[in-house]
């Protein structure tokens, strides 16, 4: 099966893209270039698709704006089984921090650094997607696929499990070191 979707380029020249009024609609990302996202989940299901627009706003700021969506396989922290989380990241970037600050609109945008006028689209999209991964991944509350669906379950239950263990290990290590002296 061949993938006919347009491949999103990794780096683009922001001025050229704005001048040409470029946009990408549902372009797929090369999964091999998303190693940090790969490491943040069990697997990526299907394509990671992005819509990216380039524009200049009313104040003359250069804007890279869009959304990206991915289906990520995560481990449910309730039942320990894999499930698919659909993550959507919206972004609105500008490299023109000084201008934004001068116009008092810096809270409207996130800021990116350009390298020789180039924007690394993959970096900013990947960061956005990773931020959308829930800190405590779990099936939806009413998802019957969750084997612990309907169980009484508290946030604290997991927190305790996840946070006390490393400290307990450290405490016992300290204890054994102290005993050696
Ligand atoms: Zn579950």
For the stretch 115-152, pLDDT in tens is: 999 999 999 999 999 999 999 999 998 899 998 877 76
Whole-number pLDDT of residue 180: 58
* Mean pLDDT score of the chain: 87
Whole-number pLDDT of residue 174: 61
Tokens linked to 112:
């990116």
Rounded mean pLDDT of 171-176? 62
From ligand 1's centre to the CA of 129, what distance in Å? Answer: 22
Phi, psi at residue 28, to the nearest 5°? -90, 150
pTM, two decimal places:
0.78
87 falls in which pLDDT band (50, 70, 90)? very high
Which of 74, 56, 50 lies closest to 122, judged by CA? 50
Q: Across 29-43, 136-150, 163-177, which has the greatest mean pLDDT?
A: 29-43
Whole-number pLDDT of residue 163: 44
From ligand 1's centre to the CA of 133, what distance in Å? Answer: 16
Whole-number pLDDT of residue 169: 55
From ligand 1's centre to the CA of 69, what distance in Å? Answer: 22
Phi, psi at residue 25, to the nearest 5°? -115, 110
The dihedral built from the CA positions of residue 139, 140, 145 and 151, taken in this order, carries a sign that is positive
From ligand 1's centre to the CA of 148, what distance in Å? Answer: 6
From ligand 1's centre to the CA of 29, what distance in Å? Answer: 29
Rounded mean pLDDT of 37-62? 96
Helices of type H across the chain: 14-19, 35-39, 97-102, 121-132, 155-180
From ligand 1's centre to the CA of 155, what distance in Å? Answer: 14
Concatenating the DSSP letter of every residue in 48-65 gives EEEEEEEEE-TT--EEEE
């Amino acid at each position: 099966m061949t993938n006919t979707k347009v491949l999103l380029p990794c780096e683009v020249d922001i001025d050229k893209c704005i001048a040409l009024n470029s946009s990408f609609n549902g372009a797929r990302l090369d999964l091999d270039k998303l190693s940090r996202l790969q490491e943040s989940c069990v697997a990526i299901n299907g394509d990671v698709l992005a819509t990216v627009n380039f524009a200049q706003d009313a104040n003359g700021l250069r804007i890279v704006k869009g959304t990206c969506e991915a289906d990520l396989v995560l481990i449910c922290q309730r039942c320990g089984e894999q499930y698919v989380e659909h993550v959507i990241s919206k972004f609105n970037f500008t490299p023109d921090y000084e201008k934004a600050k001068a116009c008092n609109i810096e809270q409207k945008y996130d800021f990116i650094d350009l390298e020789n006028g180039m924007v690394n689209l993959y970096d900013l999209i990947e960061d956005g997607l990773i931020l959308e991964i829930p800190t405590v991944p779990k099936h939806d509350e009413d998802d019957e696929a969750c084997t612990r669906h309907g169980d009484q379950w508290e946030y604290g239950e997991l927190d305790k499990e996840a946070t006390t263990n490393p400290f307990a290990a450290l405490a016992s290590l300290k204890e054994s070191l102290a005993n050696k002296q």
